Chains A and B, each alone.
Chain A
């Protein structure tokens, strides 16, 4: 069965520091992979997605993620965080053999920014 693991429940980084949020997935084939962000009172917003091709994916707000098949990982990175990046981040996986309708989400990582 498909699953997504985000091992870090809560991370605190200083403003201006680099960020890496971890995501591991379990799926038989190459999945569709997503990162979403959820700010308080806001809906989920797609940061970036990977379907195929270049394994380094650029997203909005300066985020990027790298698909590593050998490690079953899709970690999210940002070189320098801003206070406005404080939010909940969700990694998600969708099936590759059909439509990406049934997306499985991880349990999320809450990001706090230290001034």
Chain B
């Protein structure tokens, strides 16, 4: 079956611009997660959705970052006024229920802020 998909695979933008990154989870998975992976580091938790609501957004670094999941399926991570330090690979994962389930990761979106 289809895994987690993310679009675009690569995004290059200029400092100060707004970007949206999309995640399509595995069908039927109620839990969805966003992580950020900087070069040479492990993934860093950003936000966790259970259904349509953000159950834990404690990893979002500041108010320039926002994520939505309006219908409990596809999610969009939105970054306003991008900064060069936002350059990273943004990973999305989904799991069946969110309660200690295996998280299945997508291939990521590589964001480069010039």
Contact = CB atoms under 8 A, between A and B. Distances in A.
Contacts of A102: 45, 48, 56, 58-59
B98 A99 contact: yes
Contacts of B58: 102
A106 B41 CA distance: 8
Contact of A104 (B45, B106, B107): B45
Interface stretch (A14-22, A39-47, A65-73, A75-83): A39-47
Interface string B39-71: 011111100100000011011000000000000
A100 B42 contact: no
A107 B38 CA distance: 10
Contacts of B100: 32, 51, 94, 99-100
Given A43-B108, A44-B91, A103 B103 contact: yes
Interface residues of A, number: 24
A49 B102 CA distance: 8
Contact of A101 (B43, B56, B102): B56
A9 B59 CA distance: 25
Given A32-B100, A43-B91, A46-B102, A103 B45 contact: yes
A43 B101 contact: no
B33 interface: yes
Contacts of B43: 44, 90, 105
A92 B33 CA distance: 15
Contacts of B104: 46
B50 to A, nearest CB: 8
Most chain A CB inside 10 Å of its own CB: which residue of B4, B100, B104 = B100
A108 B91 contact: no
Interface string A87-115: 00010101000011111111110000000
A42 B42 CA distance: 14
